A and B are shown apart, each in its own frame.
Chain A
Amino acid sequence: DVKVTQSSRYLVKRTGEKVFLECVQDMDHENMFWYRQDPGLGLRLIYFSYDVKMKEKGDIPEGYSVSREKKERFSLILESASTNQTSMYLCASSQQGAVTGELFFGEGSRLTVL
């Protein structure tokens, strides 16, 4: 069964802390994505990666960075967390060249920044 795993389901951090959100997929997918999900705003793309060591900015990259050292792992980093980064973060993966547009999502990481 296809699986995208986000290791932290719930996190509470303080303003200014460095935060790591980890995502691992077991489907040998080339493409990986980080979205944030907010009520009334839908899903907004933060960063994505089509290959190891490769990353591209999405629509709202400010305040975030990413790391893709291995094909199966895509990490989202908040260098200095702020209260406006309180959100649900969704990781997703897909097969490269897929025309179906099917993203496989993790269960999400709910981050609260105090």
Chain B
Amino acid sequence: AQRVTQPEKLLSVFKGAPVELKCNYSYSGSPELFWYVQYSRQRLQLLLRHISRESIKGFTADLNKGETSFHLKKPFAQEEDSAMYYCALSPAGANSKLTFGKGITLSVRP
């Protein structure tokens, strides 16, 4: 069975500071990894996925198979980044059946 671990519940930083939201996973096969975000009073939405190797809103995430990690990073946090972030995993070909981590609240202070 797969598992996603987000070791921290809350990260509070000042505007302009770097951000790293940690995500570790456990899965014996080849996973697909994602970050989802939920802004205040908005629905949960996809932020980025590792297969796309893209940067969205300044965020990037690199899949490290050796460390089984998929940390989300941003060099300079903005106040509008304040939200709940979830890391999620899907076994390859599992037709979007995602396992989510417990989530982390990012608070960016002015």
Interfacial residues, chain A to chain B (CB-CB below 8 A): 4, 31, 33, 35, 40-45, 48, 50, 59, 90, 92, 94, 96-103, 105-108
Contact = CB atoms under 8 A, between A and B. Distances in A.
Interface of B: 6, 9, 32, 34, 36, 43-46, 49, 51-52, 86, 88, 90, 93, 95-103
Nearest to A30: B95
23 contacts: A31-B95, A41-B102, A42-B100, A43-B86, A43-B103, A44-B100, A45-B97, A45-B98, A45-B99, A48-B97, A59-B99, A90-B44, A97-B95, A99-B51, A101-B88, A101-B90, A101-B96, A102-B46, A103-B36, A103-B96, A105-B44, A106-B43, A108-B43
A4 to B, nearest CB: 8
Nearest to B97: A48
Contacts of B6: 42
A45 B89 CA distance: 13
A32 B75 CA distance: 36
A93 to B, nearest CB: 9
Contacts of B86: 42-43
Given A41-B102, A43-B86, A101 B32 contact: yes
B96 A98 contact: yes
Contacts of A41: 102
A20 to B, nearest CB: 21
Report, nearest first, the 8 A-B pairs whose CB atoms are least far apart.
A42-B102, A94-B96, A43-B100, A105-B44, A105-B43, A102-B46, A42-B103, A42-B100
Contacts of B34: 101
Given A42-B101, A101-B34, A31 B43 contact: no
B95 A103 contact: no
Contacts of B98: 45, 101, 103
B101 to A, nearest CB: 6
B60 to A, nearest CB: 17
